């Protein structure tokens, strides 16, 4: 997770996504890794994948403010206005 967070801070989104994905293979459904991976996907313009990952995060941690904000941002970026309402 340290490598993933470091890559995110440096805005190395593809590398960050790879590190978050590896972290999720070791510990599936870890909220921090799901949030980080979704943010990296969104930064890489992978909006549909980001939406799906934020939804997964919210199934694991429904009270996640970051998850709800990220999901809304991803839906707007995907131009899915009806879902974002």
pLDDT digits (tens, 9 = 90+) for 59-81: 999 999 999 999 999 999 988 65
- Do 38 and 26 meet the contact criterion of CB atoms below 8 Å apart? no
Instruction: Name the DSSP class of 27.
Output: S
Whole-number pLDDT of residue 82: 60
Banded model confidence at residue 83, pLDDT cuts 50, 70, 90: low
Query: Interhelix angle for 13-26 vs 2-9, to 10°?
Result: 160
CATH number of 2-84: 1.25.40.10
Give the Cα separation of 68 and 84 in Å (integer).
Answer: 10
In the chain, what are the domain boundaries? 2-84
Predicted model pTM: 0.89
Q: Which residues contact 60 (CB under 8 A, 6 or more apart)?
A: 29, 31, 34
Q: What is the mean pLDDT of residues 2-9?
A: 91
Give the Cα separation of 57 and 9 in Å (integer).
Answer: 20
Whether the per-residue pLDDT at 4 is higher than 80: the answer is yes
């Amino acid at each position: 997770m340290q490598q993933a967070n470091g890559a995110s801070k440096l805005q190395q989104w593809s590398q960050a996504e790879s590190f978050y994905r590896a972290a999720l293979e070791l510990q599936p459904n870890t909220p921090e890794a799901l949030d980080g991976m979704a943010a990296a996907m969104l930064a890489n313009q992978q909006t549909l994948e980001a939406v799906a990952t934020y939804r997964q995060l919210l199934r694991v941690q429904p009270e996640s403010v970051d998850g709800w904000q990220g999901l809304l941002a991803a839906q707007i970026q995907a131009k899915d206005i009806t879902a974002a309402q």
